[in-house]
Structure formats: C-alpha cells, structure tokens
Amino acid sequence: MSEEKVSEVLQDEPEVAVELENGSESSEEVIDAEGQGDEQERDIEKELADAQKEIADLRDRMLRAAAENENFKKRVERDRLASLKYAGETIFREILPVVDNLERAIDQGVVEGVDAEKNLVSLLEGVQLTLKSVVATLAKFEVKTIESVGKPFDPKHQEALTMAESDSVPANHVVTEFEKGYYYKDKLLRPAKVVVSSGKKDDESD
C-alpha cells in the first residue's frame, strides 16, 4: 500500500468516530422526545376526560332546568284555568248575605196574626236594609252609580228613552231615571236609561 493511501485511511477514521458519537447523542434525544410525547398524550387524555365529565354535568343540569321550567309552566296554566273557572267566587260569596236578608225580609213581612199594614211596613224595612247591603257590596267591588237626575244629558253615559216637558228641569237635562247607570272602576258597566227634559211647556199651547 502506498503512503498516500495510508494517510487517506487515517484521515477518514476520526470522521467515523465523530459520526458514531453524533449518532449515539441523537438516539438519546429521540428517547427523551418519545417520553415527553407519551406524557403530553396522557395530559390530553386527562383533559379530554375532564371535559367530557363537565359536559355531562352541564347536560344533566340543563335537562333538570328544562324539566323544572316545564313543570312551572304547567302549574301556572293550572292556576290560570282555576282562576278563570272560579273568578266569580268572591262576588258570589258577598252576594249570599243579600239573599239571606231578602229571605228574612220575606219572613218578617208575612207574620200570622198581624195586620197587612204592619206586615207591609216590616217587608219594606227589610227590603231597604237589603238594598243598602247590595249597594255596599257593589261599592266594595268599585261599582258606582252614575248621577243623572238634574244633570245635562250625556249620550256617552245615558240612554234617552223619551223626552218630557218640565218647568223645573232645563232642556236637554235629565228629568227622571228609569234605570240607574253604573260604572265598574273607570269602565261603563251599564248606561242609565233616562227621560230628558224638552224644556218648559209653551204658554200658547195651553
């Protein structure tokens, strides 16, 4: 072998050693990277499991809230229907004493052994007391009468049945009431049926 070839072989050997050394360091780095990858994968799996558990809890809470809301709506609807069905209960309960008073008035108005005049007076007193009771009950529910007699005729609140001459009531004013009018709170419940004055009678027509 020539000297030139020997020197070439000697020059190549250190490079092989360096390559071997570099190769061993790369293997360790690969092992470390694989370990870190496994750890990251375990962390991701844990986070995924936690997220799935949280989602399940939220879904359960959402279903419970929806069920409670549905039950609440049904309960409100039941209460509403019951209120509509028994809306007049309070009013009827207030009217029952009026019926009792009328029955008492009738009983007191017909007493054996008492003359008709006294029976009639007792009946009238009983009816008057009953009327006061009815008016008080209506006032309790904010039902009030419309004052019409002597007032100017108002077609918004009154219904004219006829006209009549009057020396004491000016023309287009209410002379008498056939039926009283009523307001319920601020709403017209029933217009008054009235007779309207046409003014004084003409002297020439006498």
pLDDT at 163: 93
Q: Among residues 155, 158, 107, which one has the least CA distance to residue 130?
A: 107
d(CA 191, CA 153): 12
C-beta atoms surrounding 109 within 10 Å: 19
Contact criterion met (CB below 8 Å) for 161 and 177: no
DSSP code of residue 205:
G
pLDDT at 188: 92
Sign of CA dihedral 132, 138, 144, 149: negative
pLDDT at 90: 81
Going by their DSSP bridges, the two strands 181-184 and 143-146 should be labelled as antiparallel
Would you state the structure tokens that stand for residue 90, as one six-digit string?
A: 């309070």
pLDDT at 152: 94
pLDDT at 24: 47
Residue pLDDT tens, the chain, 206 long:
555 554 554 455 444 444 444 444 455 555 566 667 677 777 888 888 888 999 999 999 999 999 999 999 999 998 888 888 877 788 888 888 888 888 877 777 666 666 777 777 877 888 888 888 888 888 888 999 999 999 999 999 999 999 999 888 999 999 999 999 999 988 999 999 999 999 887 644 44
pLDDT at 65: 92
pLDDT at 192: 94
pLDDT at 30: 54
Would you state the structure tokens that stand for residue 30, as one six-digit string?
A: 């690969």
Contact criterion met (CB below 8 Å) for 81 and 117: no
* 59 membership: H or E segment, kind and range: helix 3-85
pLDDT at 175: 94
**Edge-to-edge strands, sheet with 143-146:** 143-146, 181-184, 187-190
